[in-house]
Amino acid sequence: MGKINLLDIETVNKIAAGEVVERPASAIKELIENAIDAGATKITVEIKNGGISYMRVTDNGSGIASDDIEKAFLPHSTSKIKSIDDLQSLYTMGFRGEALASIASVSNVSIITKTKDEMYGTAMNLEGGKIVSKQETGCPDGTTITVNNLFYNTPARLNFLKRDATEASHISEVVSRMIIGNPSISIRYISSGREVLFSPGNGNLKDAYASVYGRELAYSCAEINYNYNGIKVTGLAGLPFSARANRNMQDFFVNGRWVRSKTITHAGEQAYRTMLMVGKFPILFINVQLTPGKTDVNVHPSKLEIKFTDENAIHSAVFWAVQNAILNSEKIKDVDAPPKKTEEKSDFNVKSTLKKEEYSSPKKEVTEEIFNDELINVFKKKEQKEFEQGSFVTNNTFREDFVPMPENVENKEEIVFEEEKDENNFEVKGQIFDTYIIVQKDDKMLLIDQHAVHERMNYNKIVKNLSVNSQVLMIPENIIFSGKEKNLIFENSDVFYDMGFEIEDFGTSVIVRRIPDNIDVGDIKNTMLEISDIVSQGGDPEMIYDKARFTVACKSAIKANHKLSETEMYELANSAINDENIRTCPHGRPVVISLSKKFIEKEFKRIV
Ligand code: ADP
Ligand code: MG
């Protein structure tokens, strides 16, 4: 007798289910994705026992028509594609038509759903994938799917599950990603009767992020907003000093779908390159939006690993997007309010006391009355400021003309130097520790880091010019390098030339005839070694050049512990305050710190 059996359809489904539904969190992910695909703007996720005994996802999306419901639970049934060609224009999260069939085959499912065209909705119950009842019911538009006793008929899988708390934390992770990937959808997550997560769904990235990671973190990030050859990159980038010891705070999305991508990870981290210490990883949340034909989402069973048709274009888009965001971030660091210690919960309170319109347009004046009494605390002013600042990122022209995009190279001649604005809107009061300039401006005291501001000025100048100004040395310097160092320098003499050096091989040493402006003779060797170090690390030529510019900008900047003249102080302060293109030093550190008069008076207890 032969040994080969043909498996019955139920067994086939159960095996297939193992691929789609590995654990409760994967079922939740599929159910939320279906809700998003159905155009929902509000989704509620409820679970008990880590989702094993009970999970329910409610949405206000399109609903399923009564005569389609049975089909929705058949394997390979989908309303999203008809043939493989449709993948080219697919914007939905799902398309395999496997999820509902798989989930239903390993649990007891009940669905209540209604389209807006139907008078009544439909309620249907399934046990292990078999329909046990179906009837008309009164219900709102949208869909509620309840899954009871997941894996009740596949004991091996049930045994594989971890403690309830572990499964619940996997679900939290899935819901968190859904929230930050879909800031226009309000998502509520309730575990064992307790609200764990809630996002307002107002379309504001920072608010979506805040509902998962807290306001303080969300609002300390720089906003990414960038377009590059039809690739739109949005998201949030942590400033260099907030970098973490691992990549847990990095999430990448392509067209709203959470993905893994080496290209995005690498490009995002490259944007921080010299700004981070080894072993530190930036906080990064990046959403790449592009035409679906440009991605291949069909490569991995759980659809996480993504491939792009043009990985290089994505790399460049993400790199420039993140770099601009960091450089564009908050110009003046405000130290008025102490770090916020309130719990996330109270953040929600603040939000919920704001009317929706006020909340979603951060520029509008947020008046005192909007906050109720119990919330008036020391942080109020800060909150208000954050709301006002929430949308500052995109409204300047810095981004486009600052970036040394390859296209700009041709236009070199057309770049005109803008006269620095002198609004004379401040008074220089002096210098402290030979390092910081003190300025009074309006009702604020500003502290300016002389090195940081000058470094940024130099860097901007170099980038704008696409060349480094240099000076001929009256007496050429003769510098000794090791054989290896020397070889590296001469192999890359064009980089040195472009950075303003004129060098000549002199046997055992190097003769330096010309150096970048403002570099001390004593710094020449160091600067050259740093540049050859950058070159030897290799990589994209544009990035090598940019790193070299960082080095030259830094070395040619006025140092800390250096006494300044009145004129120097004035010029540095004027740039720090009035030059829109100066936000942080090229390493991402702040340039200006501000203390308000009110804050100072509060500290001296003149006012309360
Ligand atoms: P896929 O999402 O890959 O199409 P699923 O098995 O997840 O496959 O769902 C099958 C079909 O059921 C979907 O194509 C959609 O038409 C319908 N559907 C599932 N969930 C919902 C929902 N929450 N709202 C509206 N329609 C839904
Ligand atoms: Mg689906």
pLDDT at 376: 30
pLDDT at 11: 74
pLDDT at 413: 37
Q: Does ligand 1 come within 6 angstroms of the Cβ of 61?
A: yes
- pLDDT over 60 at 360, yes or no: no
CA-atom Rg of the chain in angstroms: 29
- Each residue's pLDDT tens digit, 219-250: 889 999 888 878 899 999 998 878 888 898 89
Taking CA atoms only, the protein residue closest to ligand 1 atom 20 is 34
Q: E strands of 15-170, at which residues? A: 42-48, 54-59, 108-114, 121-127, 130-137, 142-148
The number of CA neighbours under 13 Å toward the Cβ of 172 is: 16
113 C-alpha to center of ligand 1: Å? Answer: 12
Average pLDDT over residues 286-303: 69
Which of helix, strand or coil describes residue 40? Answer: coil
Render the burial of 436-445: b for 16+ CB within 10 Å, e for the rest: bbbbebeebb
Contact 53, 161 (CB under 8 A): no
Question: From its phi and psi, is residue 537 left (phi > 0), alpha (psi between -120 and 50) or beta?
Answer: alpha
Contact 147, 107 (CB under 8 A): yes
Render the burial of 335-354: b for 16+ CB within 10 Å, e for the rest: ebbeebeeeeeebbebbeeb
> Which amino acid is present at 494?
D
Which has the higher per-residue pLDDT, 404 or 320? Answer: 320
Q: d(Cα 443, Cα 393) in Å, to the nearest integer?
A: 24
Q: Does ligand 1 come within 6 angstroms of the Cβ of 95?
A: yes
Q: Does ligand 1 come within 6 angstroms of the Cβ of 27?
A: no
- Each residue's pLDDT tens digit, 320-331: 899 888 877 666
141 C-alpha to center of ligand 2: Å? Answer: 19
- pLDDT over 80 at 34, yes or no: yes
Question: From its phi and psi, is residue 423 left (phi > 0), alpha (psi between -120 and 50) or beta?
Answer: alpha
Residue 81 CA: which ligand is closest? Answer: 1
257 confidence band (pLDDT: 50, 70, 90): confident
Which has the higher per-residue pLDDT, 344 or 149? Answer: 149
- pLDDT over 80 at 473, yes or no: yes
> Which amino acid is present at 486?
K
pLDDT at 185: 97
Average pLDDT over residues 372-390: 33
Q: d(Cα 124, Cα 134) in Å, to the nearest integer?
A: 4
Q: Does ligand 1 come within 6 angstroms of the Cβ of 114?
A: no
Q: d(Cα 601, Cα 608) in Å, to the nearest integer?
A: 8
pLDDT at 304: 66
pLDDT at 87: 61
Residue 33 CA: which ligand is closest? Answer: 2
Contacts of 179 (CB under 8 A, 6+ apart): 187, 197, 199, 208, 211, 212
99 C-alpha to center of ligand 1: Å? Answer: 8
pLDDT at 337: 53
* In the chain, % of residues over pLDDT 70: 77
State the DSSP code for 52.
T
Which has the higher per-residue pLDDT, 486 or 28? Answer: 28
Which of 112-121, 258-267, 353-362 is the least confident region?
353-362
> For ligand 1, what atom is nearest to the CA of residue 79?
14
Q: Does ligand 1 come within 6 angstroms of the Cβ of 104?
A: no
Average pLDDT of the chain is 79
Which of helix, strand or coil describes residue 167? Answer: helix
Average pLDDT over residues 479-500: 89
pLDDT at 377: 33
Q: Does ligand 1 come within 6 angstroms of the Cβ of 79?
A: yes
Taking CA atoms only, the protein residue closest to ligand 1 atom 8 is 97
Render the burial of 191-200: b for 16+ CB within 10 Å, e for the rest: beeeebbbbb
> For ligand 1, what atom is nearest to the CA of residue 101?
6
Q: For a pocket test of ligand 1, which of 21, 42, 79 has the largest count of ligand atoms closer than 8 A to its C-beta?
A: 79
192 C-alpha to center of ligand 2: Å? Answer: 25
182 C-alpha to center of ligand 2: Å? Answer: 16
> For ligand 1, what atom is nearest to the CA of residue 102?
6
- pLDDT over 90 at 27, yes or no: yes
Which has the higher per-residue pLDDT, 373 or 539? Answer: 539
249 C-alpha to center of ligand 2: Å? Answer: 27
From residue 369, alpha-carbon distances to 11, 366, 525 in Å are 62, 8, 61
The number of CA neighbours under 13 Å toward the Cβ of 9 is: 7
- Each residue's pLDDT tens digit, 90-123: 666 766 678 899 999 999 999 999 999 999 999 9
Nearest to 449 by CA among 561, 325, 550: 561
- Each residue's pLDDT tens digit, 534-553: 888 777 777 788 888 888 99
Q: d(Cα 488, Cα 533) in Å, to the nearest integer?
A: 9
Q: Does ligand 1 come within 6 angstroms of the Cβ of 35?
A: yes
> For ligand 1, what atom is nearest to the CA of residue 93?
2
76 confidence band (pLDDT: 50, 70, 90): confident
pLDDT at 330: 60
pLDDT at 333: 66
From residue 429, alpha-carbon distances to 446, 531, 566 in Å are 10, 38, 10
71 C-alpha to center of ligand 2: Å? Answer: 13
Average pLDDT over residues 364-375: 29
pLDDT at 60: 97
Burial class from Cβ neighbours inside 10 Å (0-12, 13-18, 19+) for residue 133 reads exposed
Q: Does ligand 1 come within 6 angstroms of the Cβ of 316?
A: no
Taking CA atoms only, the protein residue closest to ligand 1 atom 13 is 78
> Which amino acid is present at 20?
V
Q: Does ligand 1 come within 6 angstroms of the Cβ of 383?
A: no
- pLDDT over 50 at 75, yes or no: yes
- Each residue's pLDDT tens digit, 139-162: 999 999 999 999 999 888 888 888
Cα 574 to its chain centre, rounded Å, is 32
- pLDDT over 50 at 406, yes or no: no
Average pLDDT over residues 54-59: 98
pLDDT at 332: 65
pLDDT at 272: 85
Taking CA atoms only, the protein residue closest to ligand 1 atom 25 is 63
Q: What residues are paired with 187 via a beta bridge? A: 43
- Each residue's pLDDT tens digit, 571-587: 999 999 988 777 777 76
pLDDT at 108: 97
Q: d(Cα 240, Cα 448) in Å, to the nearest integer?
A: 19
Which of helix, strand or coil describes residue 206? Answer: helix
Average pLDDT over residues 527-532: 92
79 C-alpha to center of ligand 2: Å? Answer: 10
Range with the largest mean pLDDT of 61-65, 343-347, 393-397, 591-595 = 61-65
Taking CA atoms only, the protein residue closest to ligand 1 atom 21 is 34
From residue 154, alpha-carbon distances to 21, 159, 327, 339, 578 in Å are 12, 9, 53, 50, 67
Contact 569, 437 (CB under 8 A): yes
Taking CA atoms only, the protein residue closest to ligand 1 atom 16 is 79
Following DSSP, what letter does each residue of 369-414 receive, concatenated?
GGS-GGG-STTHHHHHHHHHHTT-GGGSSHHHHHS--GGGGTTGGG
The strands making up 231-237's β-sheet, listed across from edge to edge, are 222-228, 231-237, 284-289, 250-254, 257-259
Burial class from Cβ neighbours inside 10 Å (0-12, 13-18, 19+) for residue 135 reads exposed
Which of 42-56, 117-131, 178-192, 401-415 is the least confident region?
401-415
Which has the higher per-residue pLDDT, 491 or 388? Answer: 491
Contact 161, 168 (CB under 8 A): no
Q: Does ligand 1 come within 6 angstroms of the Cβ of 64?
A: yes
Taking CA atoms only, the protein residue closest to ligand 1 atom 15 is 79
Contact 142, 59 (CB under 8 A): yes
Q: d(Cα 50, Cα 27) in Å, to the nearest integer?
A: 12
Main-chain phi, psi angles of 505, to 5 degrees: -75, 125
| Helix boundaries (H) for 182-299 | 205-213, 215-220, 262-270
pLDDT at 399: 29
Contact 428, 439 (CB under 8 A): yes
H-run or E-run covering 236: strand 231-237
Which has the higher per-residue pLDDT, 533 or 303? Answer: 533
Evaluate if pTM is beyond 0.75.
no
pLDDT at 416: 40
Taking CA atoms only, the protein residue closest to ligand 1 atom 17 is 72
Which of helix, strand or coil describes residue 135? Answer: strand
pLDDT at 440: 95
